[in-house]
Amino acid sequence: MRGTTVPPGTPCLTPRTGEPPLHRLEVAGPGAVPFAAGDFDSLGPYARWDRPHRHTFYEIVHVTAGTGTHVVDLTRRPLAPHHLAVIAPGQVHHWEDERALDGTLVLFTEDFLVDHPGDRELLRRLAGRGWFRPPPGEGERIGALMTELVGEYEQRGPGYEGVLRALLHVLAVRVARLPDAPAPGVPAEGRGAAVAQAFVRLVAHPEAVTWTVRECAERLGVTPGHLTHAVRTATGRSPGRLLIEARTCRAQRLLAHTELSVRQVAARTGFTDPAYFSRFFRRETGQSPGDFRKHHSRAHQSLEAPRAPA
């Protein structure tokens, strides 16, 4: 996927004024595998960044030691071994008050899932839950699998790309088996499943929140009726409802993590009338945009220039 990877040492992006910085996956050069794995120290200072930021890639993080708080979008969770998190491209996250943080991270772009395309939707659903606390024994087994991914990545033996993809698939499935984890939902085979998966990927893009179901169907090359049937069969919800949820989530991120005015947030989420946006937001969240920002925003982040890595 274009623009999701960069050479080592490339600064993160702030693509539009007022939005959180955007981190791209660092790879060795053209043709390099869009994958990285290691501990917090080996992956650099951005791995522990305390400023809200987004990724162009997936991140699976397994915390085995340390204290502090992990914040993803608008939810805060205290750290404790074996804290496990799945973060999807576009989600805003950061670490607060971390001390002696240790563990393993696995980073990869959507392109890397070519062998198991159904994992894209599975990982999106896992990211919707965000955090997992494996039961006794399972945390150690997941930790061992993460360590195996790191070893395979560092050794780069013959056929290592295929091994990495296979291990990553096993990891995603095992995380989905953890208590309260969402089920995969969208099947990996069939024309309808492919349409549903494509729609889920489409609505993950910020600009998609301003599109109608008909416009999404046109971009996917299907009729609105076929899109509705495929998405409802796969997810249990209509594409219209998923677009509303995506629009609401986008508005929440902008209100919490930027200094854009309510009028600007309304425009970024496809509303020409700020008053109508406020009514929409209150209906979906139970709060006005102003009240939501008052309770969820942080003072230090989005308009500051990103700090240079140490």
Q: Cα–chain-centroid distance for residue 21?
A: 14
CB-based contacts of 305, cutoff 8 Å, min separation 6: none
Q: Which residues of 294-308 are buried (b: 16+ CB within 10 A; e: fewer)?
A: eeeeeeebbeeebee
For domain 5-176, give the CATH number.
2.60.120.280
Q: What phi, psi does 5 have (nearest 5°)? A: -125, 155
**137-191 tens-digit pLDDT:** 888 999 999 999 999 999 999 999 999 999 999 999 999 888 643 333 444 445 5
Report whether 22 contacts 53 (CB < 8 A). Answer: yes
What's residue 87's pLDDT?
93
In order of 126, 127, 235, the CA distances from 182 in angstroms are 6, 9, 11
**241-262 tens-digit pLDDT:** 889 988 898 898 889 888 889 9
Closest listed residue to residue 13, CA positions, set 59, 73, 53: 53
Domain boundaries, the chain: 5-176, 191-296
Tokens of 10: 């490339």
Diameter of the chain by CA atoms?
Answer: 60
Whether 193 has a pLDDT exceeding 90, the answer reads no
For domain 191-296, give the CATH number.
1.10.10.60
